[in-house]
Amino acid sequence: MVVLALPSKIKFDLRDSHLGDWDFLRELYKEALYDSIVEQFGEWEDSRLDEFFTHAIKRGADFTIITSGGKDIGAMEIVDDEEFIQVEEILLLPAYQNKGIGSKIIKDVIAVAERKEKPVTLYVLKESRAKDFYEKHGFAYKSNTPTHYFMIWDPRAH
């Protein structure tokens, strides 16, 4: 009889990002989203990634870097607005996905939302496995754009 061991939970820390992190963030986006982007759009275009980061810089994106064992392994951007909490991004390098890190982060975001009695909102690519992840954590589909699903976790529904 073969017993499958569940992946061990990885300890991680968070730190504020700085300008020196942009190269890491750019590579993280490519590694974390490559398959979903190719599945949805048919190809990967570095120029679109450049446009994304130009827009992120202009809007004042405030990323938090996720680290483990002194290594940068992911990033997130969570915006606590007056009426809701917006999950802009939670991205992990592929080797650190499915290890409980994303679940811990989203559970912490939901706990804050419960205390503040605010909904949590996000957009997820239609071809991304992340939709299932967020549904597992109680997010509901609300609407869509041509490329994304809009999802919400509402404390009044739980």
pLDDT tens-digit series, residues 121-157: 999 999 888 999 999 999 999 999 999 999 999 998 8
**What is the rounded distance in angstroms from the CA atom of residue 78 to the CA atom of residue 140?**
18
The pLDDT assigned to 5 comes to: 42
HSE-up of residue 86 (Cα within 13 Å, Cβ side): 10
Contact between 76 and 66 (Cβ < 8 Å): yes
The pLDDT assigned to 56 comes to: 79
How close are the terminal C-alpha atoms of the chain, in Å? 40
What the chain holds in terms of domains, given with CATH numbers, is 13-157 (3.40.630.30)
The pLDDT assigned to 1 comes to: 40
The pLDDT assigned to 151 comes to: 97
The pLDDT assigned to 3 comes to: 45
The pLDDT assigned to 40 comes to: 82
The pLDDT assigned to 78 comes to: 94
The pLDDT assigned to 2 comes to: 43
Going by the DSSP 8-state scheme, the letter that residue 84 receives in this structure is: -
In terms of C-beta distances under 8 Å and separation of at least 24 residues, what long-range contacts does 51-60 make, across chains too?
53/22, 53/25, 53/26
Provide the whole-model pTM.
Answer: 0.86
Averaged confidence pLDDT in the chain: 88
Nearest residue to 152 via CA among 102, 84, 101, 89: 84
Alpha-helical (H) ranges within the chain are 22-41, 46-58, 101-116, 130-136
Question: Which segments of the chain have a pLDDT < 70?
Answer: 1-8
